[in-house]
Amino acid sequence: MVRFWLVAGAVLLFDRMTKYLVLLYMTTGQSIPVIENIFHLTFVKNPGAAFGLFAYRTMFFILVTTVVAAVIVYFQHTLPPGKKLLRTGLGLQLGGALGNLTDRIQGGYVIDFFDFRFWPVFNIADMAIVGGVAILAYEILRDDGKQECKEEERVENGYNKG
């Protein structure tokens, strides 16, 4: 359980620090090439969700994010002690959700700045959410595979349910 809160807190802290630096040293729309035409730091205020979808639905996003964060916290408490990787994934998701939620509450938009030119601009919180979802998917698929192996073993040993 400590892992969950440490990961969530670290993501939230790192996200807030990077966004603070963007606000301090950049102006909206400014783009600083790190690797010309490949990777830039570009300050974008995103009033929508991923890819700018559903722009200016701030109260909706605040409500949905609050509910999702509560579900993540609840689900994390129901996990058995050995689920460290799953707790890490949920911590990434919570930290990312809280980072973007803080932006929406403070300004009505999310601060994005990583710009790879071929993909919409994003931030640390977005990366944490995507990473957490990837871990969650991996854990679900891995556990499902284990379940299928157990069922095959039961059939092979003559313990067929049917």
Residues noted as catalytic: 112, 126
User: Exposed, middle or buried: residue 145 (CB in 10 Å: 0-12, 13-18, 19+)?
Assistant: exposed
Measured between alpha carbons, how far is 162 from 153 in angstroms, rounded to an integer?
14
**H-type alpha helices, the chain:** 2-25, 58-78, 84-107, 124-156
Pairing mode of beta strands 39-46, 31-35? antiparallel
- Both tokens assigned to 106: 């403070």
CA angle 88, 90, 92 (to 5 degrees): 70
DSSP 8-state class, residue 56: T
Q: For the chain, first and last CA: distance in Å?
A: 39
